[in-house]
Structure formats: C-alpha cells, structure tokens
Amino acid sequence: QVQLVESGGGLVQAGGSLRLSCAVSGRTDRSYTMGWFRQAPGKEREFVATINWSGGSTHYTDSVKGRFTISRDNAKNTVYLQMNSLKPEDTAVYYCAARRPAQRNYNYWGQGTQVTVSS
C-alpha cells in the first residue's frame, strides 16, 4: 500500500508556470510507475504523463508535450510535474497515481490538487 499526497496547485495566469509535487509514503521499498492525471469540470479524467521507477522513461499526452515535464526523486519519495506555458484548457484537478510496473491499471490515487489557469 502506498499513500499519495499532491500539492502545488493554485491559480496562475495563462503563460505562467506551476510545479506540482506528489509525496509518496507507505511501501516505498517497492518500485512503482507513477502517473499524473487530470479531470476538468464536466469531463472524464485523462492521462497527462507517466514516469517509470528509474526515471529513464517518460510519456506524455500530446496536448502537454513540450510544456510539461514529469520527474521523480526517489530519495525524497516525491514525483513532480513541472507545468510551463499554461493554458486555460489546462484547468483541472490534477491527480497523482501509482501502479506496479507489471500492472496495467493504477491502483493508488491521491486526493487531487486544483490548477486554475486564467486567460
């Protein structure tokens, strides 16, 4: 079992930047693939980015490529999402999630952090 707590959300103007953090606690001795997802009002939750245990492999949804960067510091048990050149359409609740590498679905989720981008 792992527990995930997101932080770093807030209100920012279009073109601005935010860095989200996800603190991981619990069974941190196991390797987990980490992901960021988001859910905008009235929309389904969507994948944003993922990073493997070593940090050597990352993937992004097309709409954030070149603007967002996912990273992790395993010594600090923390995963980050650096978001630059933010757009109003990035407004959503952002969720951190974890899964074991051999599993397809993410089993563990944080409570989410609100990101609001004003135009």
| pLDDT tens track for 67-105 | 999 999 999 999 999 999 999 999 999 999 999 988 889
Q: What is the pLDDT of residue 30?
A: 74
Of 22-36, 41-55, 97-111, the one with minimum mean pLDDT is 22-36
**DSSP H helical ranges for 38-92:** none
Beta-sheet pairing, 58-60 with 2-7: unpaired
Q: Which two tokens stand for residue 20?
A: 């989200």
- For residue range 30-39, list pLDDT tens digits in order: 789 999 999 9
Is the model's pLDDT at 50 over the cut of 90? yes
Q: What is the pLDDT of residue 37?
A: 98
Residue 116: CB atoms within 10 A of its CB come to: 15
Cα(45)–Cα(61) distance, rounded to whole angstroms?
A: 13
Unique residue bearing structure tokens 């603007």 = 67
> What is the residue type of 96?
C
Is the model's pLDDT at 28 over the cut of 80? no
